[in-house]
Homo-oligomer: A and B are copies of this chain.
Amino acid sequence: MIIIMDERGKKYLIDQKSEFQSDLGIISQEDIAKAEVGQSLITHLDKEFKVIKPNVNDFIDLMDRRCSILIQKDIGTVVAKTGLGSGSRVVDAGTGAGAIALNFGNIVGREGNVYSYEIREDFAEVAKKNIVSFGLDNIIEIKNKDIKTGIDEEKIDLVFLDLTKPYEIFENVYECLNLGGYLAVYAPYIDQIETSYRVAKKLGFNDLSIIETLEREIEVRTQGTRPKTRMVGHSGYLMFGRKL
Chain A residues within 8 Å of B, Cβ to Cβ? 3, 5, 9, 37-38, 50-58, 72-73, 75-87, 103, 106-112, 155, 157, 178-181, 188-194, 197-198, 206, 209-220, 223-235, 237, 244
Contact = CB atoms under 8 A, between A and B. Distances in A.
Contact of A52 (B77, B110, B180, B193): B180
A147 B213 CA distance: 33
3 cross-chain pairs, A with B, having the tightest CB-CB distances, nearest first: A86-B109, A76-B80, A189-B224
28 contacts: A9-B206, A38-B178, A50-B179, A50-B244, A52-B179, A52-B244, A57-B81, A72-B80, A72-B81, A73-B77, A73-B80, A73-B213, A76-B80, A79-B79, A79-B80, A83-B106, A86-B108, A188-B226, A190-B226, A194-B225, A212-B227, A214-B214, A214-B215, A216-B234, A229-B235, A230-B230, A230-B231, A231-B231
A216 to B, nearest CB: 5
Contacts of A111: 86, 109-110
A interface, over-half SS: mixed
B233 A216 contact: yes
Contact of A106 (B9, B53, B85, B198): B85
A205 to B, nearest CB: 13
A211 B220 contact: no
Contacts of A210: 217-220
A180 B53 contact: yes
A223 B107 CA distance: 34
Nearest to A84: B107
B73 A9 contact: no
B229 A233 contact: yes
Contacts of A214: 213-216
